[in-house]
Copies of this chain bind each other. A is one copy, B any other.
């Protein structure tokens, strides 16, 4: 704490403006009835002194806060950053500031973040559904004193509100897409399914939908590599080497699918002639040029907006439903044939 000079408090502003601390507090919060003249003097004094309110004291006293905690698994994953931008777009104009924590899909890290965030008594907390949650974290959330909202998962309702897609529906959509095109030698490529339970749910839905059609889904996954392009490429190479008969692949997300595609191109396996590919998320759609990946588009920004709106309603003590299910759209690209 390199203190540079004296810390300015309400008291200093009050002395300078020639009023009481309470009056300063009211002016700066815009509360109560204060004469225009006093308001001006107080504001000027605060400006001149460079007064910065101490939120620790303010929130402690009022038992209110305009801070919203958001805990996401990975800030580098475009999916979550777009959800976040929807959240920010909704909350900032209402005077709330979001503080973000990154859990890296680690339950212990998530638990520590929840503890750290809740101990600042935020106005609300938004966290990602569909990841393993520690017993401690469950306990913290059970005794929370602010609204809590689940993001990215609508299958498993939890907390005060859930906003996200049905991952089971996503798995079924992919299954139907393959089946409609007569593809029967199907593989799934993913990573970190022990951590990303939403992805796991998509996988299981795909598997069981195919099983219902008498098809056995081959899965190639690993738990110790990130859910990214390089991993998609690596696993695809393994898959093609060991199971050359495969003619359709569903990837955990678009990033992995693009990595897989790069290998397929290089290996001279025509897409979709020889192998059909489907991703998930729709993050690739923005930059799609030569390769337009067939994928399931998820309205990422809207999910953030809906979650934030629900939070605002709960704070305002207005009734809200228990969830919002994000619509999914299977977008036909050129990595699978048109039906």
On A, residues with C-beta under 8 Å from B are 1-5, 7-8, 50, 52-60, 63-64, 67, 74-76, 78, 81-82, 84-85, 88, 92, 97-102, 109, 112-113, 115-121, 123, 139-140, 142-147, 160, 228-230, 233, 259, 262-263, 265-266, 286-287, 289-290, 314-315
Known: A76-B82, A116-B67, A145-B3. A52 touches B140 (CB 8 A): yes
List the 9 shortest-distance A-B pairs measured between CB atoms, nearest first: A76-B81, A55-B119, A100-B100, A56-B60, A97-B116, A99-B99, A75-B75, A229-B287, A50-B143
Task: Give A76's nearest chain B residue, CB to CB.
Answer: B81
A92 CB contacts on chain B under 8 angstroms: 109, 112
6 contacts between A and B (CB under 8 A): A1-B145, A52-B140, A57-B60, A84-B102, A92-B112, A98-B101
Nearest Cβ in chain B — how far from A5, in angstroms? 8
Q: Please, which residues of chain B bring their CB within 8 A of the CB of A286?
A: 228, 230
- Extra 12 A-B pairs, beta carbons < 8 Å, given A56-B57, A229-B287: A1-B63, A1-B145, A4-B144, A50-B143, A52-B140, A54-B60, A55-B119, A74-B81, A97-B101, A99-B100, A262-B289, A263-B289
In the complex where A56-B59, A229-B287 touch, is A1 in contact with B146 (Cβ < 8 A)? yes
Given A92-B109, A102-B100, A121-B54: A287 and B314 interface contact (C-beta under 8 Å): no
A54-B7 contact, Cβ under 8 Å, with A97-B101, A100-B100, A101-B100: no
Q: How far is the CB of A285 from chain B (nearest CB, A)?
A: 10
The residues of B that contact A81 with a CB separation of less than 8 Å are: 74-76
| Chain B: CB-nearest residue to A146 | B1
User: Which of B75, B120, B263, B315 is the one whose CB lies under 8 Å from A55?
Assistant: B120
- A262: chain B residues at CB < 8 Å are 289-290
Complex contact B56–A314 (CB within 8 A):
no
> Who on chain B is nearest to A100 by CB?
B100
Give the residues in chain B near A84, CB-CB below 8 Å: 75, 102
Contact status A287-B230, CB under 8 Å: yes
Most buried by B among A97, A259, A265: A97
Most buried by B among A78, A119, A229, A290: A119
Report whether A2 and B52 are in contact in the complex, using a CB–CB cutoff of 8 Å. Answer: no
Residue of B nearest to A291 (CB): B262
Bound-state Cα–Cα, A80 to B39, Å: 42
| Cα A84 to Cα B77 with chains together (Å) | 13
List B contacts of A76 (CB < 8 A).
Answer: 75-76, 78, 81-82, 85
- Measured between beta carbons, the chain B residues less than 8 angstroms from A115 are 52
Assess the A97–B113 pair: CB atoms within 8 A: yes
CB-based nearest B residue for A118? B52
Scoring A120, A147, A265 by chain B CB atoms within 10 A of each residue's CB, the highest score goes to A120
